[in-house]
Amino acid sequence: MYTVETTFTISAAHHLDLDYESPCKNLHGHNWRITVTCERDELDKNGMVLDFKTIKRQVHDVLDHSVINDHVPGNPTAENMAKWICDVLGPVCTRVKVQETEGNVAVYER
């Protein structure tokens, strides 16, 4: 099994639709730290699991300096962001870790 992992930071805003009172209902931003893990049994024709530039183009470039609500369906929690990223990258993506703030991390694993 071959594995690649990349970590990057995006600056983006979101607001949450919650069934309780919270300042997170208001538009606010974070400097999100995202770690993506991709795996394959065999490398592709280029000798890669997935090109790091593909991850950057499909995730970083879409979400950075955006309103997450415009991209992630439903309530754009860190948990839902992690799953959305995994789905966007396809079956080679096996794990996404989204750190919203220091000490607050959500992980989605396939």
- pLDDT tens for residues 39-51? 999 999 999 999 9
pLDDT level of residue 22 (50, 70, 90 thresholds): very high
Q: What class has domain 2-109?
A: alpha beta
Q: Which pTM value belongs to this model?
A: 0.94
In this structure, the number of other CB atoms found within 10 A of the CB of residue 35 comes to 16
Please report, for residues 22, 30, 43, 48, 91, the alpha-carbon distance to residue 81 in angstroms, rounded to integers and kept in the order given.
19, 13, 27, 25, 16
Domain positions in the chain = 2-109
Average pLDDT, the chain: 97
Q: What was the pLDDT predicted at 109?
A: 98
Q: What was the pLDDT predicted at 97?
A: 98
N- to C-terminal Cα separation, the chain:
15
Q: What was the pLDDT predicted at 96?
A: 98
